């Protein structure tokens, strides 16, 4: 397309300069008044635009787009006649539609371990399909959804002899088979380290299967272990099935074992949905009595959507997640519950909402704003601590140590100005969290408590194709300036 525009400008300018005694004023005064285009029919388009490359580019593209969308991929315009009346320019152009282009073959470049036929099924283009812009946009979107290989745009269109067929060449890069994602921090008041470690095995057997081993230490004596498995299902599309098994060992409070399964489906270009089932078994320690052990059975439904291209360093876009979970919870010791005058089982509802917006303000200055809501609705006045939300630390309120506060309901607001550069960004942050909980006072009466916590700080993110590092310093209003909470996140492929 750029070649067509350059040819038009190169051909036009000598005629126009010769027709005017003062060529220095031409570029400032000339305007395109009309375009007369001869093709299937003669059409006249009054445009009234400056005679410059940007205006010509926009006009030509808008006229050729319907033809290119219909399969005339090589449609172009050539100059036939030029008219100039003072500062008005009238162009007579001839439309060359060219041949109707069909797909010859799908060519995959850069993959060795990955099953190429599986990738082609995800692209979902058939031989002899008509090549047009809509098909290219659809293909570009499809390959961006394949998260176990790295797509390198653009799609190359390679015409075959005769220009009636063309091959589409997709460029990919293998993701390393092992990834390590880690984070850590130091709690000076407790003189202990906290961390999270996620060891991932990517693209097992070349079909996108993923296995993850995760370990977290939230506070001293608070540990989490998790095993995760994911694979794609069906012959086309991006539906996945996931299985997760985990334990939480909070030695001074409870021990928990859980298993979950989830089916996720791509409903439309930007909308994902999922359904899941889960089971949990919780054993409280003696200090939490009179609670007894209990089991839960859950079902959940989720919707998520985003339009982010660069997940690590976005410049514009949104992300949205909504999950509702219904849980049947039953205590294992019915006699203990009846003595306390409480029910032996409860039907609980959990709601999680996460929203985020990225907005470019000027040049490389970006602002991220986010909102999270976690809520538990239960008929039990004082549910076990294992059922509450733990809030605090890098994942929720930065500037506090991990899992410092418990809540029945919490709303967390984040604003994060960023200065973006090629290999990362420098950021400031402010986190505010409203926390709602129920507690028993000294007279064993149940009362609702509400608090607002605030954290702030700064940090830097560095990244390339295989590594990601995020370092941040956080404070709260009660934390001395010379004692910030330090957190480090690291991701690397091996």
Highest mean pLDDT among 35-49, 68-82, 329-343, 397-411: 397-411
Label residue 24 by pLDDT band (50, 70, 90).
very low
In the predicted structure, residue 174 carries a pLDDT above the cut 70:
yes
Distance of CA 100 to the CA centre of its chain: 37
Of 310 and 195, which is predicted with more confidence?
A: 195
Of 455 and 99, which is predicted with more confidence?
A: 455
Burial class (CB in 10 A: 0-12, 13-18, 19+), 183: buried
Of 69 and 10, which is predicted with more confidence?
A: 69
2-96 in CATH: which number? 3.10.20
In the chain, list all ranges with CATH 3.10.20.310.
Answer: 102-174
- Of all helices (H) and strands (E), which one includes residue 81? strand 76-85
Lowest pLDDT segment from 45-49, 81-85, 273-277, 411-415: 45-49
In the predicted structure, residue 296 carries a pLDDT above the cut 90:
yes
Of 163 and 236, which is predicted with more confidence?
A: 163
In the predicted structure, residue 331 carries a pLDDT above the cut 70:
yes
Q: What is the pLDDT of residue 54?
A: 76
Q: What is the pLDDT of residue 26?
A: 46
Q: For 160-167, what is the mean pLDDT?
A: 86
Lowest pLDDT segment from 101-105, 142-146, 272-276: 142-146
Label residue 28 by pLDDT band (50, 70, 90).
low
Of 263 and 53, which is predicted with more confidence?
A: 263
Highest mean pLDDT among 12-16, 264-268, 306-310, 351-355: 351-355
How much is the mean pLDDT over the chain?
A: 83
181-493 in CATH: which number? 2.40.160.50
Query: The tokens 């290219």 sit on which residue?
Result: 136
Of 353 and 345, which is predicted with more confidence?
A: 353
Q: For 425-450, what is the mean pLDDT?
A: 91
* Cβ–Cβ under 8 Å, residues 351 and 375: yes
In the chain, list all ranges with CATH 2.40.160.50.
Answer: 181-493
Query: The tokens 């005629």 sit on which residue?
Result: 15
Label residue 237 by pLDDT band (50, 70, 90).
low
* Cβ–Cβ under 8 Å, residues 283 and 255: yes
Label residue 416 by pLDDT band (50, 70, 90).
very high
Q: For 180-184, what is the mean pLDDT?
A: 86
Per residue in 121-159, pLDDT tens?
A: 888 788 888 888 888 888 888 888 888 898 998 999 888
Of 27 and 458, which is predicted with more confidence?
A: 458
C-alpha span between 112 and 329 (Å, rounded) = 48
Per residue in 35-56, pLDDT tens?
A: 777 765 556 666 677 777 777 7
In the predicted structure, residue 351 carries a pLDDT above the cut 90:
yes
Of 230 and 25, which is predicted with more confidence?
A: 230
Closest CA to 33 of 67, 82, 74: 82
C-alpha span between 231 and 224 (Å, rounded) = 23
Q: Rounded to the nearest 10 degrees, how much is the dihedral formed by the CA atoms of 397, 400, 402, 405?
A: -80
As its CATH architecture, domain 102-174 has: Roll (3.10)
Lowest pLDDT segment from 24-38, 198-212, 241-255: 24-38
Of 268 and 209, which is predicted with more confidence?
A: 209
In the predicted structure, residue 354 carries a pLDDT above the cut 60:
yes
């Amino acid at each position: 397309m750029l070649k067509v525009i350059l040819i038009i400008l190169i051909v036009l300018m000598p005629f126009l300069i010769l027709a005017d005694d003062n060529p220095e004023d031409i570029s400032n005064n000339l305007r395109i008044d009309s375009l007369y285009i001869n093709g299937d029919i003669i059409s006249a388009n009054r445009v009234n635009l400056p005679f410059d490359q940007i205006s010509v580019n926009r006009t030509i593209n808008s006229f050729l787009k319907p033809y290119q969308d219909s399969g005339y991929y090589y449609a172009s315009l050539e100059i036939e006649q030029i008219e100039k009346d003072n500062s008005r320019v009238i162009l007579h152009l001839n439309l060359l539609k060219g041949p109707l282009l069909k797909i010859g073959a799908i060519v995959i470049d850069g993959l060795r371990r990955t099953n190429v036929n599986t990738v082609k099924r995800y692209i979902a283009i058939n031989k002899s399909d008509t090549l047009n812009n809509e098909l290219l946009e659809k293909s570009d979107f499809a390959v961006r959804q394949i998260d176990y290989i790295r797509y390198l745009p653009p799609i190359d269109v390679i015409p075959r002899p005769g220009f009636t067929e063309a091959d589409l060449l997709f460029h990919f890069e293998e993701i390393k088979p092992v990834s390590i994602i880690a984070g850590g921090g130091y709690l000076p008041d407790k003189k202990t380290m906290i961390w999270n470690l996620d060891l991932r095995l990517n693209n097992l057997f070349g079909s996108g299967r993923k296995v993850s081993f995760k370990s977290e230490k939230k506070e001293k004596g608070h540990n989490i272990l998790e095993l995760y498995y994911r694979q794609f299902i069906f012959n086309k599309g991006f539906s996945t099935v996931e299985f997760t098994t985990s334990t939480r060992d909070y030695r001074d409070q409870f021990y928990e074992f859980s298993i979950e399964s989830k089916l996720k489906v791509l409903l439309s270009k930007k909308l994902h949905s999922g359904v899941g089932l889960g089971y949990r078994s919780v054993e409280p320690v003696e200090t939490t009595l009179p609670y007894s052990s209990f089991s839960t059975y859950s079902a959940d439904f989720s919707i998520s959507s985003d339009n982010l291209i660069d997940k690590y360093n976005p410049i514009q876009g949104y992300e949205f997640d909504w999950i509702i979970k219904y849980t049947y919870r039953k205590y294992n010791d019915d006699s203990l519950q009846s003595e306390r005058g409480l029910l032996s089982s409860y039907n609980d509802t959990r709601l999680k909402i996460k929203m985020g917006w990225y907005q470019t303000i000027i040049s490389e200055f970006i602002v991220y704003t986010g909102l999270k809501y976690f809520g538990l609705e239960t008929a039990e006045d004082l549910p076990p601590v294992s059922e509450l939300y733990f809030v605090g630390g890098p994942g929720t309120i930065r500037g506090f140590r991990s899992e410092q506060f418990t809540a029945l309901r919490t709303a967390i607001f984040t604003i994060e100005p960023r200065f973006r550069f090629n290999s990362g960004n420098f950021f400031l942050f402010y986190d505010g969290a409203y926390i709602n909980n129920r507690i028993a006072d000294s007279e064993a009466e149940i009362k609702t408590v509400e608090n607002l916590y605030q954290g702030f700080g700064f940090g830097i993110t560095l990244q390339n194709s295989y590594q990601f590092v995020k370092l941040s310093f956080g404070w709260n209003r009660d934390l001395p300036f010379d004692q910030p909470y330090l957190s480090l996140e690291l991701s690397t492929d091996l």
